[in-house]
């Protein structure tokens, strides 16, 4: 048993090292690489992913997993065996020819999507999308032909979550958020800030905020990129990026706070777990809960705005009041584009995509029907109607990358963040005093203990249940949104 564990650990260490290199190459591609390097980078990435696949699907890995399963294992060992078994099953069940076809179709689909979006012409992308959906369906039936196809798609992003919980959750959220949105429109909207602000001075403010929140610069970097993202190469090497806008002080800053939240999670994975199959985030949804918690629960709070105003005024030479920043950070409006959505409407954008993906994989909507179905759902869910395909069905990159069932992770993140926030307020009565004083170490300590240090020792729903108890996440999110935005708009529930 010990020998089998040692051998499997050695193999897992190699897999994790390859994943770290792939993360670094991906970061480099978006931050440092000259444009002409993309061809060569494709060859590098394809070598690494081929090597990873080869090592993961080695027969010996299957034998070792079989030897260890059900044995007398520590928590780390049994979680690693379970996680690696899932990866092994997925990787070995899908025929190599199908994997290859997927890579070829995705390589063509991405530029086709970009051009179609530029021209706002869905027909340029639809044949690629149809093929990507076919490949996803074939992949799903190769992995598990018994379960609901959507559950099989969901598993690599949010293991432990299924449509049985997501369907009723999205139903309730849709109607509760619709009610809130209607009510807010009867109130008065807070004003936005008028720029511009010096980019270098903004950057110094971002650095100060990241430091205050607990981002460890010895184990991480913050760079610029077109779209902010986080890559955890290792807990000792976490790369986050941001985008600073001359006219968008708060949008740039909330992007940084969001990525710092992801980065703190990655830095908080225990190093002793980092090279095991239990040493990563438990799910995309839990990852998103960390970024959303810092971005919204803390970063858009009145207490944070009060603290931020003094820091911003010092660095930027402005004279903001905390109340001004608080209002500007919490403007709510019905809109067409997910990435610019506020925290009240955001989950409605996800609800539209979830509904459509469910219908696609239940065979209830064809690719050609998608643009109209999208438009109708936006009208009935958010009350706005996209006039173009670019603002509608073509707005997100996910489907062009063959990523179906990714979107629910965003909403799971918001739901988890709300329950983490509600629990923290109960457990730390002086939480908002600490935030207003710019002291975040106790909050980070709580997250380290209850979430980060748990890595992938359990699935996200179990980590959440241990952290917050059996809470109703939908109720927590709706309560939180009402109390913040209702008060700001002068309306009550």
Calculate the CA dihedral of residues 172, 178, 184, 185 and round it to 10 degrees. Answer: 180
| Residue 291 is a binding residue for Zn ion (CB under 5 A) | yes
Residue 460 CB, shortest distance to Zn ion, in Å, is: 15
Catalytic annotation present for 259: yes
Beta carbon nearer to Zn ion, 296 or 419: 296
Sign of CA dihedral 87, 92, 93, 99: positive
The pairing of beta strand 237-242 with beta strand 230-234: antiparallel
Query: What is the spatial distance between Cα 396 and Cα 390, in angstroms, rounded to a whole number?
Result: 9
| Residues numbered 106-165 forming contacts with Zn ion, rule: CB under 5 A | none
Query: What is the spatial distance between Cα 236 and Cα 218, in angstroms, rounded to a whole number?
Result: 8
Beta carbon nearer to Zn ion, 5 or 157: 157
Residue 288 CB, shortest distance to Zn ion, in Å, is: 5
Beta carbon nearer to Zn ion, 393 or 417: 417
Stretch that binds Zn ion, among 68-76, 290-298, 348-356, 452-460 (CB under 5 A): 290-298
Q: Which position among 131, 259, 288, 436 bears the catalytic label?
A: 259
Beta carbon nearer to Zn ion, 125 or 354: 354
> Considering only CA atoms, which of 114, 96, 163, 413 is closest in space to residue 284?
413
Beta bridge partners of 242: 224
Q: Which DSSP helix (H) or strand (E) runs through 239? A: strand 237-242
Q: Which DSSP helix (H) or strand (E) runs through 164? A: helix 163-184
Stretch that binds Zn ion, among 4-12, 285-293, 377-385, 470-478 (CB under 5 A): 285-293
Residue 299 CB, shortest distance to Zn ion, in Å, is: 13
- The 196-225 site mask, x for binding Zn ion (CB under 5 A), equals ------------------------------
Do residues 386 and 371 touch, judged by C-beta distance below 8 A? no
Query: What is the spatial distance between Cα 8 and Cα 244, in angstroms, rounded to a whole number?
Result: 44
Return the residue nearest Zn ion (CB atom): 291
Query: What is the spatial distance between Cα 471 and Cα 288, in angstroms, rounded to a whole number?
Result: 18
Query: What is the spatial distance between Cα 287 and Cα 262, in angstroms, rounded to a whole number?
Result: 6
Residue 446 CB, shortest distance to Zn ion, in Å, is: 20
Residue 29 CB, shortest distance to Zn ion, in Å, is: 19
Q: Which DSSP helix (H) or strand (E) runs through 104? A: helix 96-119
Instruction: Give me 432's structure tokens.
Output: 């908002």
Beta carbon nearer to Zn ion, 40 or 339: 339
Beta carbon nearer to Zn ion, 159 or 228: 228
Residue 132 CB, shortest distance to Zn ion, in Å, is: 23
195: helix, coil or strand? Answer: coil
Query: What is the spatial distance between Cα 325 and Cα 143, in angstroms, rounded to a whole number?
Result: 49
Residues interacting with Zn ion, by CB under 5 A? Answer: 291
Which residues are part of the catalytic machinery?
259
């Amino acid at each position: 048993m010990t020998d089998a564990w040692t051998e499997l650990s050695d193999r897992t260490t190699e897999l994790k090292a390859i994943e770290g290199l792939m993360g670094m190459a991906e970061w480099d591609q978006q931050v440092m690489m000259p444009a002409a390097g993309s061809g060569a980078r494709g060859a590098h990435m394809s070598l690494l992913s081929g090597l990873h696949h080869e090592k993961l699907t080695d027969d010996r890995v299957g034998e070792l997993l079989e030897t260890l399963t059900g044995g007398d294992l520590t928590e780390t060992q049994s979680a690693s065996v379970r996680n690696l078994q899932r990866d092994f099953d997925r990787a070995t069940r899908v025929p190599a020819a199908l994997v290859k076809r997927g890579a070829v179709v995705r390589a063509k689909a991405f530029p086709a999507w970009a051009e179609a979006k530029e021209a706002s012409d869905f027909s340029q992308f639809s044949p690629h999308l149809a093929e990507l959906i076919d490949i996803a369906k074939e992949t799903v039936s190769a992995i598990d032909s018994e379960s609901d196809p959507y559950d099989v798609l969901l598993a690599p992003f949010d293991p432990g979550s299924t449509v049985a919980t997501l369907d009723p959750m999205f139903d309730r959220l849709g109607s509760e958020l619709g009610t809130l949105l209607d009510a807010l429109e009867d109130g008065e909207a807070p004003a936005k800030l008028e720029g511009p602000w010096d980019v270098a001075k903004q950057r110094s403010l971002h650095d100060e905020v990241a430091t205050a929140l607990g981002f460890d610069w010895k184990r991480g970097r913050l760079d610029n990129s077109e779209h902010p993202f986080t890559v955890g190469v290792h807990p000792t090497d976490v790369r986050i990026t941001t985008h600073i806008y001359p006219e968008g002080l708060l949008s740039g800053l909330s992007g940084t706070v969001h990525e710092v939240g992801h980065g703190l999670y990655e830095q908080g994975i225990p190093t002793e777990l980092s090279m095991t199959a239990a040493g990563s985030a438990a799910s995309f949804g839990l990852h998103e809960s960390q970024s959303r918690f810092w971005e919204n629960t803390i970063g858009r709070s009145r207490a944070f705005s009060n603290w931020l105003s003094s820091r911003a005024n010092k660095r930027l030479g402005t004279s903001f009041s905390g109340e001004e920043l608080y209002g500007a950070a919490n403007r709510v409006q019905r809109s067409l584009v997910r990435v610019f959505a506020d925290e009240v409407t955001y989950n409605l954008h996800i609800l539209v995509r979830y509904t459509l993906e469910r219908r696609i994989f239940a065979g209830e909507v064809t690719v050609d029907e998608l643009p109209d179905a999208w438009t109708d759902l936006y009208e009935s869910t958010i009350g706005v109607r996209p006039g173009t395909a670019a603002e509608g069905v073509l707005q997100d990159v996910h489907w062009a990358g063959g990523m179906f069932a990714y979107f629910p992770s965003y909403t799971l993140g918001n739901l988890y963040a709300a329950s983490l926030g509600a629990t923290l307020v109960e457990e730390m009565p002086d939480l908002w005093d600490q935030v207003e004083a710019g002291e975040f170490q106790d909050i980070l300590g709580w997250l380290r203990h209850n979430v980060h240090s748990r890595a992938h020792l359990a699935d996200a729903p179990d980590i959440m249940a241990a952290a917050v108890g059996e809470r109703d996440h939908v109720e927590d999110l709706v309560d939180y949104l009402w109390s913040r935005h209702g008060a700001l708009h002068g309306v009550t529930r």
